[in-house]
Chain A
């Protein structure tokens, strides 16, 4: 069996187990569905009056504006929730047995990443359905929506690698807030409620340099059918992916050293 085939075999086995666990245990799956759904309902419902603010120039409406945010948020948090699962696997000793048994350990991380993406796709179906029921306008073409899908899947992969790096270093479920807080802060220091031009004060300055701003603007562009900031989003994602791959690899080495 070639190295690639061994990696693939490990990755698919880990992914299948992780997906199976999530779908068999509602306590694992429900939070990853309910949180984005709740954000979507609260923001799109409660703050919809914001679209009447002068200079709010998003043509597809406030529900679509928030749908793009929830897409990116749920993808990012899907990775974090998978990080919780990795930490639990370490705490209960399963991950150690996995490290011993796997012929290629990189495949373990890849497997968790695939699982996070599959779980997110399920969340997307739920949130998208809720959006359509509540009258959301999707002005983007099929190609635009595929672009949105690719963007969010890349966010999911990146956040899984980030959370995996922490889970494999600390190997305890108490590491949850360490995985969650930086992503939460980065997300909310982006233009969540209004376009960047309408954000004021220090958050505006931070948001200008926050990579999630570019990702959010690209996602909103896909939903409205006017893609924008694609090059800068791709560059941000490539940089984040490279950094988090190195971070997760370091975590894997740390777990291997710990035995």
Chain B
């Protein structure tokens, strides 16, 4: 705590991010489930929905290629959930109160907190990519595209993690963070994650998917895998992720100030 209090901001961020990462590494369940579950679901869906690739206009010959974007989104959701819950536990356990008595800056606290989620997001994204390629997915944009994919995946993980952080700071309980988790999944299922938007037959569903920002995040990742370089899809995906990061970071900073004043 003393080292933390007297160090400069980058060092403060490093210390808190290191703590968040160590926390994840010491709890294998926090790492294994978020990685395995999306891969199992991918395997099941790739077999179950492969027949859909026979539809005229389906953008890929293999549903596995098409669906590879989904685990990246689910991994980001799990990273957000875990990050938010860790922070909520810090609040409930009084760790945040103790930090409030040190000269630690709020920005360092938020950045350090996001470190754990970003670490988790990066590990899972690399694994999804490796598993996908090992099972025959070809990345249409090549090695450079794979690197951009990892970058986009990190941006999306950060966006969701900022949201998780905001909920944790605002509500202060793990149950509240957990309660938001189904909402994340609803957003994913009501998007174009599982079916191309132009092939969705139900008008109302297509409308929801069109207004759902998650659709554009998925389509950004997917474009790198199956379509090649698509500037518009990438710009939309990065823009939505960045807007979400900025918005939820600002809200988190406000919630943190309120919480520290309350303490």
Contact = CB atoms under 8 A, between A and B. Distances in A.
Interface of A: 34, 38, 41-42, 44-50, 52-56, 185, 188-189, 191-194, 198-204
Contacts of A52: 55, 201
B189 interface: yes
Contact of B46 (A34, A38, A49, A201): A201
Of B40, B43, B46, B51, most buried by chain A (CB within 10 Å of CB) is B51
A47 B54 contact: no
Contact of A49 (B45, B48, B201, B204): B201
B203 to A, nearest CB: 10
Interface residues of B, number: 27
A56 B48 contact: no
Contact of B47 (A34, A42, A200): A200
B131 interface: no
The 4 nearest A-B residue pairs measured at CB:
A203-B47, A45-B205, A198-B51, A42-B189
Contacts, number: 82
A192 B45 CA distance: 9
A185 B41 CA distance: 9
B44 A47 contact: no
A200 B43 CA distance: 11
Given A47-B195, A48-B200, A53-B54, A202 B205 contact: no
Interface in B175-200: 182, 186, 189-190, 194-195, 199-200
A48 B40 CA distance: 23
Contacts of A41: 190, 205
A191 to B, nearest CB: 7
B181 to A, nearest CB: 12
